[in-house]
């Protein structure tokens, strides 16, 4: 009788181990998918922020000034961009925008 119980426990632990291993495999695959999606979203958002900053630069550098409220928005865009590990190519553009006066010098 004891060997029958022991055998049952061995089979039970074997089945439980197989189920846990299967669950770990499923979890690992799902985690890889989530990481890939997160990476794609991060790069996509970086591209959108970079594009918006560049468009602001093109617009206001042509005008020769950048209103204070737009400068603040650009700073917020840039902060979000750098928090997503954006590279330094946008930094030079933001620096140029920072040097623009807040109002037009033409009267």
pLDDT band, residue 107 (cuts 50/70/90): low
What is the C-alpha to C-alpha distance for residues 90 and 75, in angstroms, rounded to an integer?
Answer: 11
Domain assignment of residue 55, yes or no: yes
Beta carbons of 90 and 78 less than 8 angstroms apart: yes
What is the C-alpha to C-alpha distance for residues 67 and 101, in angstroms, rounded to an integer?
Answer: 8
Q: Can you give the pTM of this predicted structure?
A: 0.74
Domain assignment of residue 30, yes or no: yes
Q: Which domain holds residue 58?
A: 2-99
pLDDT band, residue 1 (cuts 50/70/90): low
pLDDT band, residue 88 (cuts 50/70/90): confident
Task: State the total domains in the chain.
Answer: 1
Domain assignment of residue 104, yes or no: no
Domain assignment of residue 16, yes or no: yes
User: Distances in Å between the alpha carbon of 4 and those of 8, 41, 54?
Assistant: 6, 55, 75
């Amino acid at each position: 009788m004891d060997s029958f119980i022991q055998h049952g426990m061995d089979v039970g632990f074997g089945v439980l181990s197989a189920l846990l291993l299967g669950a770990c495999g499923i979890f690992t695959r799902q985690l890889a998918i989530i990481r890939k999606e997160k990476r794609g979203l991060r790069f996509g958002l970086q591209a959108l922020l970079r594009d918006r900053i560049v468009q602001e630069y093109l617009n206001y550098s042509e005008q020769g000034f950048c209103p204070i409220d737009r400068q603040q928005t650009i700073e917020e865009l840039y902060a979000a961009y750098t928090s997503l590990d954006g590279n330094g190519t946008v930094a030079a553009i933001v620096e140029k925008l920072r040097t623009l006066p807040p109002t037009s010098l033409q009267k």
